[in-house]
Amino acid sequence: MSDRLGIWMIGALGGIGTTIAVGARAMDRGLVSHAGLATLRPEFEPLGLAPVGDMVFGGHEVRSSDFWSSAYQIAKLSGSIDLEIIQKLRPELEQMSSRIRPGTAIHCGQAIEGLTDEGHVRAHHGLRQAVDEIRADLAEFRAEAKVDRVVVVNLASTEPDVDHAALPQDAAELEAVLDGDQVERIRPSLLYSYAAFREGCGYINFTPSTAALCPAIREVAIKAGLPFMGDDGKTGETLVKSALAPMFKYRNLKVLSWQGYNILGDRDGQILAHKDNLASKVRSKDAVLQGILGYPLHTHVGIDYVESLDDRKTAWDFIHFEGFLDHRMSMQFVWQGCDAILAAPLVLDMVRLTDLAMRDGEGGALEHLACYFKSPIDVAEHDLHRQFHELGRYLASKGLAATP
Amino acid sequence: MSDRLGIWMIGALGGIGTTIAVGARAMDRGLVSHAGLATLRPEFEPLGLAPVGDMVFGGHEVRSSDFWSSAYQIAKLSGSIDLEIIQKLRPELEQMSSRIRPGTAIHCGQAIEGLTDEGHVRAHHGLRQAVDEIRADLAEFRAEAKVDRVVVVNLASTEPDVDHAALPQDAAELEAVLDGDQVERIRPSLLYSYAAFREGCGYINFTPSTAALCPAIREVAIKAGLPFMGDDGKTGETLVKSALAPMFKYRNLKVLSWQGYNILGDRDGQILAHKDNLASKVRSKDAVLQGILGYPLHTHVGIDYVESLDDRKTAWDFIHFEGFLDHRMSMQFVWQGCDAILAAPLVLDMVRLTDLAMRDGEGGALEHLACYFKSPIDVAEHDLHRQFHELGRYLASKGLAATP
Amino acid sequence: MSDRLGIWMIGALGGIGTTIAVGARAMDRGLVSHAGLATLRPEFEPLGLAPVGDMVFGGHEVRSSDFWSSAYQIAKLSGSIDLEIIQKLRPELEQMSSRIRPGTAIHCGQAIEGLTDEGHVRAHHGLRQAVDEIRADLAEFRAEAKVDRVVVVNLASTEPDVDHAALPQDAAELEAVLDGDQVERIRPSLLYSYAAFREGCGYINFTPSTAALCPAIREVAIKAGLPFMGDDGKTGETLVKSALAPMFKYRNLKVLSWQGYNILGDRDGQILAHKDNLASKVRSKDAVLQGILGYPLHTHVGIDYVESLDDRKTAWDFIHFEGFLDHRMSMQFVWQGCDAILAAPLVLDMVRLTDLAMRDGEGGALEHLACYFKSPIDVAEHDLHRQFHELGRYLASKGLAATP
Amino acid sequence: MSDRLGIWMIGALGGIGTTIAVGARAMDRGLVSHAGLATLRPEFEPLGLAPVGDMVFGGHEVRSSDFWSSAYQIAKLSGSIDLEIIQKLRPELEQMSSRIRPGTAIHCGQAIEGLTDEGHVRAHHGLRQAVDEIRADLAEFRAEAKVDRVVVVNLASTEPDVDHAALPQDAAELEAVLDGDQVERIRPSLLYSYAAFREGCGYINFTPSTAALCPAIREVAIKAGLPFMGDDGKTGETLVKSALAPMFKYRNLKVLSWQGYNILGDRDGQILAHKDNLASKVRSKDAVLQGILGYPLHTHVGIDYVESLDDRKTAWDFIHFEGFLDHRMSMQFVWQGCDAILAAPLVLDMVRLTDLAMRDGEGGALEHLACYFKSPIDVAEHDLHRQFHELGRYLASKGLAATP
């Protein structure tokens, strides 16, 4: 297929966006393996997914930076990106940065506002104009980068928790709100997702900012026959939880308490140190266990900012459970992963699979991508294995022979 | 159904056998919950499995003890059995001990020999006679306990590793060997399993003593139309491994090294401190990861004796893996479980399901029980979730509505 | 020496008080070893400390219970007390309960109030009367139990944090406050400690309730020539911290972050789930590291309530540090201890050493006991080893030959 | 003082030697902090120790490499050395490599032999000639580098365990052995240390190769009035043990079992995968606990090779202990440190302090350096805190005001 695929990243120069860009280029140059990217396993070849090396990158960003500088900083601070690799990719990374546009910060909350750089936030002249400007960015990208299809991915910092009752309830009300200026009824993520669907793009909400795919927005997407999925990429502690909890169920071991603590530094941690932003996140992480186990239990999800860790997120989970003769036992795990490294390939996987859906004219929630999310839209199943089984069934329907 | 089910336990007064006996009685008296026993979850009710409270217990044992004394010792040492509960059950436990018979220790290896008590090991007058005596014990149990079906379960200490090439290769050669006296070609577990099948019993090999279900023995069972399954119950560290490894596969995270250390005390640990006996165990634990992940990787399974821990087995696993951009990350887990507590309900689950197979005239390897074993006979699948899925499919064929 | 020593415990029937009582009786009967009690090591013999078996127990309690019931409940819930041991001690434990008196709950905060039982809280008729009633209890104990010296130990639940500026500033103001009824200026712990000193007792503040030994109270004690020490027993996570932090200093390894999480159930955890009460505790735990390391660093002390754990407190600490070439490394520890088991022998140690001071006419802060406290009064040194070294020096001055 | 200090490293281009060289240059250039180096803390200034930036480096090495290549490889593999830093230091590192001389491999054992490169091992023409060649290298270094004093440091791979009874028993026998050719009675480390003392150098044995400072060799040193110390640098797990074990003693908590597992890759791990070499190491690590606690206990020190970890050594220790009422509790720690990063500054600390001794004419075992060793020569004390206290006392005698 000769078509070209564009990825438009909201929060393009953050840790995940930068890691995606570096990874795509490094893979194309053969500098690194395919590790982390499930859709590059040989079993997926029959699907003819868009080659990672041909993808074109663009995006919005509210901070002053570029792919090279951001990659360099990550290489120095967390070490998750190899300095020699980006030294080799420097010209490409600098060139790719020309497709980054200033973002919007309307009603994004204090924590995120504190991160913005002058000249990188669009002036606010009404919601409708904000949306139109985002749409113009997307249209320009499509035209200049000569891409046939675009998938927009939300990688921006977690917004403060939103009151869903105050959000527009359907597409009509949404249009009315965009024509007014009640900024407190929206969040930036909603403006981006709206613009994406109006420009015919697929959309992946990788963050816990649930305004992005609220019912009114989904109505817009479904009417346009466009695919989307979210919320909140399942990368670390929650991934492990959803892989492990079924085991307790199989053995009828009663989980009494599942206590989890996440510590992390970097921008992500800084934002989550704000109570409002944290609320969005914790809600997303907390539903998983009861969903899988089928009974109420004591759970706790702590997230604390530890600056020195940078992006080397560390999680400690303590699981207290009761077995035969009501005897109590425990299990603990420590997860030490780099969030951007874990997240970046999931985004690439999903962009390729969203593109597949677009090529086949499939709109609506891509429920088969549930295994990638902490709070999968329209999917009640949190068991990672059953979620992955569903992905396998979907892919089989697309011609995949072997179960991946 | 008015039939009664008998369980005959080889190594009846060890930690697992004692815990099974206490648990069955305690459940019958409503002193404890059903935790640990999957087949007592409401979803399983339609199967009409044999009630745990009606099961009749008997078994072989080479040490001098009884259910009450053994339970009391466990209550004092590891605390996994509640003292007050067994004080209430004392008369029943003492009465149940009357069905224990002396075992055989022919060619069982030095470690196990060291545990035997005088008067509790049958004198050795030839293999055939040994087998006949075991058969007589089983026949007597069936008659006196008035049970309709018997499932024999091997819970004895791990035997030294066996050279499978030296074992009898088919049923005919097996008969010849039993008529001779080349004791070094057999292991006690083989004598027990042979006797079991000749007495029309189902058989579960919960240990890593693979002589028990070697091909020649299976031939005997299959000819008799009797069900069996093994080897080596999946209770702790390996259970977690087989639940967790698929997650790395889904995400294409390349596991570089999976290093595991188990520390435990009690009789089990003492036996495994013997190199020959350890070999049987480690082989059984080590195949799991490569089987699930599909590529060779560095693995290590250490088992060390730490007397003070008694049956509070503790395992530390360190998993080193590579993700996107070939970045290395790690995960660790610590499992602190009581082995007998974890094992006992699996045995009860399997006895009930083996009984179900016998009622329906199913013989041969019960492959649907693979999720209960480290080295499931005739099953290549080690992924716990796929194994459990298979169990679900089998049970659906038996009329189970909901996936368990 | 023929004199008898009395211990008066505030919060006598809580986990620590009960464990002390059981332990003292069990040791006297030879049912358990001396583990946990440093002053029973042979090196301490030359000091001629009061024999643990001869101590007489009394105390205040605001809940309805007795030593036997409380011990039985602990045996069942956390298993830290052996059921058989208390079955043997039952008559003694029941008899000892006759010396428990109702306590005061004046301005103790909502969390503690919620725990009190009717009939076990003295009616409130003014601060002076409250103090007089406590004094009467102590005087009666001294007379009826025929003890020569009494050490009062505060083991009651952590009070809400107190505003030290609002407390009476000196002994004169204290007397005035006690004659008035501004209950919001005091805490129960202050009434108890005042009464103790007025009755000629030594006083150990094992809790973080700092009102107990505020400056005005200390003035009373010093005038009376009575010894005291506090605050907050160093039993678990903080103990480890203060043992480990010096190591980083010796090696000039720069600790960047020391992140600690404590999870626990039982009454203690329940009280600390209240924000006000937690504040007292966390302040006490947090000063240790900077004190030892000598530079500011990122620290965090989390305490969360996990009901199922009961008294099996579990702490996870993550230490992030920088070494040569500014390379970052980490250390983690998990502490799984039973708080009452760890605390009880420290109280007995200190009661014996306080008694020693009283016998030798030493009043004021017993600075040599700093190693037993998270916030040792008048001692800036938090390094456990230097603190213990100081105890050794003091004991040497009392005739101890060998360094303990 | 205008004198110059030379360091001669045996195994100069290994991980530790390379890290020392890079660190000394990077500190001199102000590229990194002083972290890890205790003797660079301000308190040590009054001692006037040799400036790290003025030290001159030389050494023996049996592999083909140079400081730059070795540093580059470390930067790529374990990441413990920063790539940008060594890019800046490249000319210096290349120049420093000119002072590296081929080493001896006489009777070094198979594991080490396997690492040697052709042309980097001196041909073997008798022990005396081997020693003379080493001496010539040292003399040449002293002359050409214009250094006033030289400290030789053994950083070479752990030799196979040696039979001390077969080693020369005194200086006279040693001379006789060197004149003969019973190579099986010696180890390379012994040839190096002998040569060092004959050339008037101080000597630090940072490895567990105990032949280096066997009694006959010490006799040579003492006669020459030269200082030395060893054996086996205390960098990681054992460091933590010796810091933590005293805590259990203070509280009279009875340690039942202390089970430790070390996993590591790189050359060090590879060598220790050889049973003979491992024996030297484990013996050194294992004496510590009983020494501190004063009673026999169950201990285990495992060391396993995990290639993917490279130099990121990870240790898991499980400590099982008994407290009041004989209740059992546990503590675990995980140490994740880079061995070379931890070791390098200790070597620099000790070289500076050995130089101080040489300046003051002090010969014999530098017992005040015990805190740096797993098996400190002539020192029975293993408690890290008491060892450090002794260092403080020694330094006070040298004019240090504040306790470090």
Question: Tokens at residue C191, please?
Answer: 């009434």
Tokens 């086949």 identify what position? A360
Please give the pLDDT value at position C1.
46
What integer pLDDT is reported at residue A273 of this predicted model?
Answer: 75
pLDDT over 80 (residue C50): yes
Query: Which tokens in the block code for residue D317?
Result: 């220790």
Distance in Å, alpha carbon of C340 to nearest chain B alpha carbon: 18
Nearest in space to C52 (alpha carbons), one of C339, C349, C343, C340: C349
Q: Residue D76 and residue A84: Cβ atoms within 8 Å?
A: yes
Q: How confident is the model at residue A1 (pLDDT cuts 50, 70, 90)?
A: very low
Taking an 8 Å cut-off on Cβ atoms, the answer to whether B307 and D332 are in contact is no
D286: closest CA among D294, D298, D275, D276?
D298
Contact B281, B262 (CB under 8 A): no
Q: pLDDT class for D321, splitting at 50, 70, 90?
A: very high
Query: Cα dihedral sign for D238, D241, D246, D252?
Result: negative
Minimal C-alpha gap between D287 and chain C (Å): 19
Angle between helices C237-250 and C275-293 (to 10 degrees): 20
What residues of chain B lie within 8 A of the CB of C76, using their CB? 84
- pLDDT at position B402 is 65
Average pLDDT, integer, range B219-246? 96
Q: Do B306 and D259 touch (CB under 8 A)?
A: yes
Q: What is the DSSP string of A173-224?
A: HHHHHHHS--GGG--HHHHHHHHHHHTT-EEEE-SS-GGGG-HHHHHHHHHT
pLDDT: which is higher, D268 or A104: A104
- D84 CB neighbours in chain A (<8 A) are 76, 83
Cα distance between residue C173 and residue C304, in whole Å: 38
Q: Answer yes or no: is pLDDT of A313 > 70.
A: yes
Planar angle of CA C205, C206, C208, nearest 5 degrees: 85
Locate the chain A residue with the closest alpha carbon to D83.
Answer: A83
Q: Which pLDDT score is estimated for A258?
A: 97
The answer, yes or no, to whether residue A240 has pLDDT greater than 70, is yes
- Say whether A404 sits in a helix, a strand or coil: coil
Q: Is the pLDDT of residue B237 over 80?
A: yes
Cα A248 → chain centroid: 28
Report pLDDT for A125.
87
- What pLDDT does residue A52 have? 95
Greater pLDDT, C374 or C125? C374
Query: D347: pLDDT confidence band, cut at 50, 70 and 90?
Result: very high
% of chain D with per-residue pLDDT over 70:
97
Tokens of D339: 């061995």
Stretch(es) of chain C classified as CATH 3.40.50.720: 5-232+341-397
Q: What confidence score (pLDDT) does residue C68 get?
A: 97
What is the CATH superfamily name and number for domain A5-232+341-397? NAD(P)-binding Rossmann-like Domain (3.40.50.720)
Asked if A76 and D84 come within 8 Å (Cβ–Cβ), the reply is: yes
- Cβ-proximal residues to D175 (8 Å cutoff; 6+ apart), any chain: none
Q: What is the spatial distance between Cα B98 and Cα B137, in angstroms, rounded to a whole number?
A: 12
Res. D401: pLDDT tops 80: no
pLDDT surpassing 70 at residue A24: yes
Token digits of residue C400: 């101890």
Residues whose CB is less than 8 angstroms from the CB of residue C165 and which lie 6 or more positions away in sequence, other chains included: none
All CATH 3.30.360.10 domain ranges of chain D, comma separated, are: 237-337
The mean pLDDT value of chain D amounts to 93
CATH 3.30.360.10 placement within chain B: 237-338
- Cα distance from B183 to chain C (closest Cα, Å)? 47
Question: What are chain B's partners, defined as 3 or more CB pairs within 8 angstroms?
Answer: A, C, D
Confidence of residue C276 (pLDDT cuts 50, 70, 90): confident
What is chain B's mean pLDDT, rounded? 93
User: What is the gyration radius of the CA atoms in chain B, in angstroms?
Assistant: 21
Within chain D, all domains assigned CATH 3.40.50.720 are found at 5-233+341-397
Residue-level pLDDT at C403: 66
Strand partners for B313: B337
Structure confidence at residue D285 as a pLDDT band (50, 70, 90):
low
CA distances from residue D212 to D155, D159, D235, D318, D379 in whole angstroms, order as listed: 11, 10, 20, 33, 17
Judge: D84–A83 Cβ closer than 8 Å, yes or no: yes
| Rounded alpha-carbon distances, angstroms, from residue A51 to A7, A9, A120, A397, C386 | 12, 18, 31, 21, 64
CB B294 within 8 A of CB B365: no
Q: What value does the mean pLDDT take over residues A148-157?
A: 96
Q: Identify the band that residue B78 occupies on the pLDDT scale cut at 50, 70 and 90.
A: confident
Return the CATH number of the domain spanning residue range D237-337: 3.30.360.10
Report the distance separating Cα C363 and Cα C355, nearest Å: 11
Q: What is the pLDDT of residue C283?
A: 66
The strand ranges marked E within B239-392 are: 254-264, 298-305, 312-322, 328-338, 364-365
pLDDT digits (tens, 9 = 90+) for D208-249: 999 999 999 999 999 999 999 999 999 999 999 999 999 999
C399, pLDDT greater than 90: no
Sort out which chain A residues have CB atoms less than 8 A from D83's CB and list them. Answer: 83-84
Which of A74, A76, A83 best probes binding to D when mutated, by most D CB atoms within 10 angstroms? Answer: A83
Cβ contacts (< 8 Å) between C84 and chain B: which residues?
Answer: 76, 83
Cα Dmax for chain D: 68
D5-233+341-397 CATH pick, 3.40.50.150, 2.60.120.560, 3.30.465.10, 3.40.50.720: 3.40.50.720
Distance CA D335, CA D257 (A): 18
What's the rounded mean pLDDT across residues C166-181? 93
The interface predicted TM-score (ipTM) is 0.95
Separation CA C80–CA B313 (nearest Å): 19
| Contact flag A333-B329 (C-beta cutoff 8 Å) | no
D307 neighbourhood in chain B, CB within 8 Å: 257, 298
Residue A360 has pLDDT above 90, yes or no: yes
Residue C323, SS3 per DSSP = coil
Q: Output the DSSP codes for D290-301.
A: HHHH-S--EEEE
pLDDT digits 0-9 by tens, C71-95: 999 999 888 999 999 999 999 999 9
Which single residue is written with the structure tokens 């407290």? D323
> Which site among D83, D316, D329 would you substitute to test the A interface, given the most A Cβ atoms closer than 10 Å to its Cβ?
D83
| Percent residues over pLDDT 70 in chain A | 97
Contacts B83 to C, Cβ<8 Å:
83-84
Give domain B237-338's CATH superfamily: Dihydrodipicolinate Reductase; domain 2 (3.30.360.10)
- On the question of pLDDT at C172 being above 50, the answer is yes
pLDDT of B234 reads: 95
Closest chain C CA to residue D248:
C36
Q: Taking the CA atoms of chain C, what radius of gyration do you get in angstroms?
A: 21
Chains touching A by CB (3 or more pairs below 8 Å): B, C, D
Q: What's the pLDDT score for residue B1? A: 46
pLDDT tens track for B99-123: 999 999 888 888 888 888 888 898 8
pLDDT confidence tier of residue C18, bands split at 50, 70 and 90: very high
Q: Determine what percent of chain C falls in helix, strand and coil, rounding each to the nearest 5.
A: 50, 20, 30
Q: Given an 8 Å threshold on Cβ–Cβ distance, is C83 in contact with B79?
A: no
Please, what is the end-to-end C-alpha distance for chain D in angstroms? 23
Q: What pLDDT band is residue A285 in, cutting at 50, 70 and 90?
A: low
Task: Give me the pLDDT at residue A212, please.
Answer: 92
Classify the C-alpha dihedral B285-B289-B295-B296 as positive or negative: negative
CA pair distance C18, C23, nearest whole angstrom? 8
Set of chain D residues whose Cβ sits within 8 Å of the Cβ of B304: 259, 300, 302
Q: Is residue D389 within 8 Å of D367, Cβ to Cβ? A: no
- Min Cα separation B136/chain C (Å): 41
CB distance A304–C306 less than 8 Å?
no
Residue with more model confidence, B271 or A7: A7
Q: pLDDT at residue C175 above 90?
A: yes
* Residue D402 pLDDT grade (very low, low, confident, very high; cuts 50, 70, 90): low
- Give the pLDDT score at A402: 65
Closest chain A residue by Cα to residue C329: A309
- Mean pLDDT, residues C264-285: 75
Q: Do D83 and A79 touch (CB under 8 A)?
A: no
pLDDT per residue over B14-43, tens digit each? 999 999 999 999 999 999 999 999 999 999
Interface contact flag, A79 D79, Cβ < 8 Å: yes
Comparing C69 with B122, which gets the higher pLDDT?
Answer: C69
State the nearest Cα–Cα gap between A293 and chain C, in angstroms: 17
- Asked whether the predicted pLDDT for residue A350 surpasses 80, the reply is yes
Give chain C's largest Cα–Cα span: 68
Kindly determine whether residue D326 and residue C19, on different chains, have CB atoms separated by under 8 Å: no
- Residues of chain A contacting D, Cβ within 8 Å: 76, 79, 83-84, 334
CB contact under 8 Å between B300 and D304, yes or no, is yes
Mean pLDDT across the stretch B202-230?
95
A134: Cβ contacts below 8 Å, ≥ 6 apart: A60, A104, A191, A192, A195
Instruction: Say whether B298 and D314 touch across the interface (CB within 8 A).
Output: no
Which token pair is C135?
């004094």
